[in-house]
Structure formats: C-alpha cells, structure tokens
Amino acid sequence: MTTRVKKICCLGAGYVGGPTCAVIAYKCPHIQVTIVDLSETRIAAWNSDKLPIYEPGLDEVVFACRGKNLFFSTEAERAVIEADLIFVSVNTPTKKAGMGAGYAADLAYVESATRQIAEVAKSSKIVVEKSTVPCRTAESMRTILEANSRDDIRFDILSNPEFLAEGTAINDLLHPDRVLIGGLQTPEGQRAQQALAEIYAQWVPTDRIITTNLWSSELSKLAANALLAQRISSINALSAICEATGADIDEVAYACGRDSRIGPKFLKASVGFGGSCFQKDILNLVYLSEQLNLPEVAAYWKQVVDLNEYQKKRFVSRIIKTLFNTITNKRIAVLGFAFKKDTGDTRESAAITLCKDFIQENAQVRIYDPKVSDEQIFFDLSEPGVVNSTIALKKRVTIAGSAYEASDKADAIVIATEWDEFKELNFEKIYEKMNKPAFIFDGRLILDAERLESIGFRVHTIGRANV
Ligand SMILES: NC(=O)C1=CN([C@@H]2O[C@H](COP(=O)(O)OP(=O)(O)OC[C@H]3O[C@@H](n4cnc5c(N)ncnc54)[C@H](O)[C@@H]3O)[C@@H](O)[C@H]2O)C=CC1
Ligand SMILES: O=C(O)[C@H]1O[C@H](OP(=O)(O)OP(=O)(O)OC[C@H]2O[C@@H](n3ccc(=O)[nH]c3=O)[C@H](O)[C@@H]2O)[C@H](O)[C@@H](O)[C@@H]1O
C-alpha cells in the first residue's frame, strides 16, 4: 500500500520552491501545502499582492489557492512536524571559500535544512531533495537524518530535481516534459517514489513520470543542465566563425536544427548564457569529475563555461573596437539587465559582465530593464567590500525608466536581454535623439538589422559579419 500524502512542507520559498509547490497546491486541492523560508521579507512578499518573483502566470496560481490549501510561513518547525512529505528546495550556490572553492556546490543550506527536519520531526517523513545537488548527496542527508532523530521514526529520501526554466516556470510545471523521481531500490524506497508519483499524476501523464535509482536522478539534473549549456556554447563558438567568414549564425542554426537528430531548440546564439544554475551546475560536474580522478572529463565540461566567458569578452571587444577603440566617456545604453526575458532575475546575467567592463573603460552607462529594480542593478554592479562603491558607481551608471530615455544622446545601444518590447521600439524616434554615428550592438539577435540600417543605424549583430 502506498502512503497518501495529505500535508506537504517546502523548505525554501525561492524561484523553485515557490512556483513548484504553488502548482502542487493548485492541482491538488486535497493536499495542504506550506512553504517556509528563513527570510521574513520573502515570506511577507509571498503573502502580499506583489509576489517576490516575477513569473508569467504565477500570480493567478498563487492567488487561486493562497489561504485555502497554500500557505507561506516562517514557522518551519510547525510545518515540518505536520507534514508527511517535505521538499528541500534551498539554495546550493558555488562554494566561495575552502575546499572546492569556485567549483563545488555549497551544501551548508541543504545540511542545515536536513538537521532541522531531524531535530523537530515526531513522525516518519518522506524527504525530497528538490535542490540541485552533487551526486550522492541523498546519502549524506540520510546519515544526518538517521543519526539525529528518534529511533521510532523513519525517513525515506527521494531525489526529485526540478527542470523548470525561469520566465516559463508555470507552463513548464503544468506541462513538464518529464518528472524525475529517484529513490532507493528497496520496497520502502519504491513506496515513497510511488507516493510522490501519485501527487504529480494528478496532472502529469504517467508516462512522463520517470522513476530511477537515487544516483541516476541526482546526476541527470547536472547532466541535463550541462547538455543544454553545451548547446549554447557550441552555437556561440560557431557564431565567432560566422563573424569571421560572412556566414550567418541564425541561418546555420536553422539549417543544423532542421536535422531531427539535432533539433531546433536551444540553438540561439547570444552574448552568453546566464542564470543561477548553468555555470554553477557545470562547475559542480567539473568538481565531481576531478574528485573521481577523471581530469579529461573535467576539462571537457569546463570548456563550456570558458567559452561562455570568451563570448562575453568577445562582444565587449567588438563594441570597443567599433567605437573607434575607446568608449571613455561615451554614452552606452544597455537595454535589458535580467539574464533572459520574462524574469526579473539577474543572477549571473551576461549584462553584469558587460556593464562592469564598460565601467572599467570609463564609459557612461545607462541601463533600462522592465523588471529589474534599480537597487538590484546597483547591488550587482557594486564591488563587494569596497567602501562607497555605490557612490562611485552612480557617477558612471544611471538607470532609465524606458528604452527611449536610456538611448537619449547615446553613442551606442547594446541589447543585453531579449525582452519582446525591444523589438517593437520606435527606432526612428530613437535614432533622431542619438549621437551620430548611432551604433546598435545586438547581443540577442532580435532586431531587424536591415531595417535599422535603412534608418541610418550602424548595426552589429552577434554571429554576423559587418562587411
Ligand atoms: N532558479 C531556477 O530556475 C532553478 C533552480 N534549481 C535549484 O533549486 C534550488 C533552489 O534554487 P532557487 O529557488 O533559485 O534559490 P533561491 O535562492 O531563490 O531560494 C532558496 C531559498 O531557500 C531559503 N532557505 C535556505 N535555507 C533554508 C532553510 N533551512 N529553511 C527554509 N528556507 C531556507 C533561502 O532563504 C532562499 O529564499 C537550487 O539548488 C537550484 O540549483 C533547479 C531548477 C531551476
Ligand atoms: O536548473 C536550472 O536552474 C534551470 O536552468 C535552465 O533554466 P534557466 O536558467 O532558468 O533559463 P534558460 O532558458 O535555460 O536560459 C539560460 C540562459 O541561456 C540563454 N540561452 C538560452 C537558450 C538559447 O538558445 N540561447 C541562450 O543564449 C538564456 O538567454 C539564459 O541566459 C534550464 O533550461 C532548466 O531546465 C533548469 O531547470
């Protein structure tokens, strides 16, 4: 007989915990879902009209079930005690110091969440690893849980990595390509897998719910992100060849993607991938490979991240060279600061690297993004530990309320994020107000270069040569 889950607790109300568990509550009205976080501000925002993250469709899902079977709270102890199943959806950033610094995942939050569960649980629980973690983390969690809890209760640990992408999270959660549930291949482990599978089966076709052993599940998450990021670095490497030869990267991507073995998705050349996970998870895989004494494998995956850095630097060099080898005191309008469209998230955004390089070259940078707050932009561009960093920064960086304001009297526009509204701008109006010659650098391949050139702009697009 499988365990019927009645109450769920989620530790971590971030980009994953919030949307994922909100969708579970939405699709399973018979289950009570409580999402908890250490951050009082974050929980207060989840309980307000303005949710802490921007995600299309999220408001509708949250507002439909908040206060009915979906609750946001800081009272972790109570939520853990009451729950039959607990998602651990806390952050797992790259370690900044100590062993494996710069590569390994920092598992301190996962460990403290696990200890918290062990300390307060008064009955048996299914504990689900939702965070992205190195292979075999579930084993450490089990050791901690078993060593710190009462003898009469048992913990079944599952790995259920999340594959949603920001900006499309709700759609990805409602219609996932697959749901992956790893468990120990014991009768108890399989029963726990079944209990979680039954929750997803409320809205996901059963042939899309995959069960595997724990370690395959943990590794598949790192592998999926590495394979996705590898496609972007591959197409970006080809974009450099295009710029040098006269081939067009969009045409090359289309021609290659029409081969059904290659496929058309995730072949859009860009200024480089960002986001909180690709770089972190690949570095995690690199570290794992090194730990397993597989240096060639580590070097292979590391190249995906190195190429991404190269792509950003290459774009900056092209901008500087084109602007007559200097951007000192030139006005650069940066359109877009988020790491992709339809999110306000800036973690590892390529725009951060670009802007820091422009500031380093003493340019005047004016930034516009429809969803990122001014404070977040200044935070991302500040140098940690440098006194008065923001004051110095404000001499070089201003934030604009629109793309028009940002490009007023600018020498160049740089498209850093592919927001749809940038395609619809009145470029005639923008051109009139810019310094001449007026340059546009399209880091996202979203603009109609020919049309812009007919207005008078000098357009430089990633993956296209300027002849
Ligand atoms: N952001 C994304 O699109 C995706 C992220 N992931 C993975 O999911 C995990 C979470 O990522 P995000 O949601 O983006 O991180 P996040 O940083 O937005 O959220 C994590 C939250 O956990 C909270 N937290 C930490 N320790 C806690 C504890 N003991 N109890 C309660 N709350 C605690 C933090 O205060 C924070 O609000 C990471 O491992 C990430 O790699 C996986 C798929 C997609
Ligand atoms: O583990 C995670 O965090 C998630 O990481 C990515 O999702 P996310 O980072 O939110 O967004 P993506 O759509 O993958 O975009 C990542 C970066 O790659 C860039 N990108 C994406 C696709 C493309 O063709 N070209 C390209 O440059 C985007 O602009 C963005 O900067 C994966 O797509 C998710 O499946 C995964 O769950």
Q: Are residues 151 and 298 in the same domain?
A: no
Examine residue 328 and state whether it is found in any structural domain, yes or no: yes
- Which atom of ligand 2 has the smallest separation from the CA of 274? 31
Identify any residues that bridge with 415 across adjacent strands, giving them in sequence order. Answer: 335, 442
Domain count, the chain: 2
Examine residue 221 and state whether it is found in any structural domain, yes or no: no
Q: Are residues 18 and 155 in the same domain?
A: yes
Phi, psi of 211 (to 5 degrees): -115, 135
Q: Is 118 annotated as a binding residue?
A: no
Q: Evaluate if residue 87 carries a pLDDT over 70.
A: yes
Identity of the residue numbered 221: K
CA of 408 to the centre of ligand 1 (A): 39
Examine residue 233 and state whether it is found in any structural domain, yes or no: no
Residue 130 neighbours by CB distance under 10 Å: 22
pLDDT average, residue stretch 269-298? 97
CB 183 within 8 A of CB 159: yes
Examine residue 271 and state whether it is found in any structural domain, yes or no: no
Q: Regarding beta strands 439-442 and 364-368, do their DSSP bridges make them parallel or antiparallel, or are they unpaired?
A: unpaired
What range defines the domain where residue 350 resides? Answer: 278-461
CA of 447 to the centre of ligand 1 (A): 34
Residue 437: half-sphere exposure toward Cβ, Cα within 13 Å: 13
Does ligand 2 have an atom closer than 6 angstroms to the CB of 166? yes
> Does the annotation count 277 as an active-site position?
yes
Q: Which of 173, 204, 235 is the last residue of a domain?
A: 204
Examine residue 215 and state whether it is found in any structural domain, yes or no: no
Examine residue 241 and state whether it is found in any structural domain, yes or no: no
Q: Are residues 200 and 334 in the same domain?
A: no
For the question of an ipTM over 0.95, the answer is: yes
Q: Are residues 295 and 177 in the same domain?
A: no
pTM for the complete prediction? 0.97
CA of 132 to the centre of ligand 1 (A): 9
Q: Are residues 282 and 179 in the same domain?
A: no
Q: Are residues 306 and 419 in the same domain?
A: yes
Does ligand 2 have an atom closer than 6 angstroms to the CB of 163? yes
pLDDT, tens digit, 9 for 90 and up, residues 377-413: 999 999 877 667 788 899 999 999 999 999 999 999 9
Identify any residues that bridge with 360 across adjacent strands, giving them in sequence order. Answer: none
pLDDT, tens digit, 9 for 90 and up, residues 231-257: 999 999 999 999 999 999 999 999 999
Shortest-distance ligand to the CA of residue 268: 2
Q: Evaluate if residue 1 carries a pLDDT over 70.
A: no
Does ligand 1 have an atom closer than 6 angstroms to the CB of 222? no
pLDDT average, residue stretch 436-445? 98
CATH number at residue 139: 3.40.50.720
Examine residue 237 and state whether it is found in any structural domain, yes or no: no
Q: Which of 176, 204, 232 is the last residue of a domain?
A: 204
Cα torsion 415, 416, 422, 427 to 10°: value is: -10
Q: Which of 157, 183, 204 is the last residue of a domain?
A: 204
CB 129 within 8 A of CB 159: yes
Model pLDDT, residue 392: 85
Residue 2 pLDDT class (50, 70, 90 cuts): low
Examine residue 246 and state whether it is found in any structural domain, yes or no: no
Does ligand 2 have an atom closer than 6 angstroms to the CB of 351? no
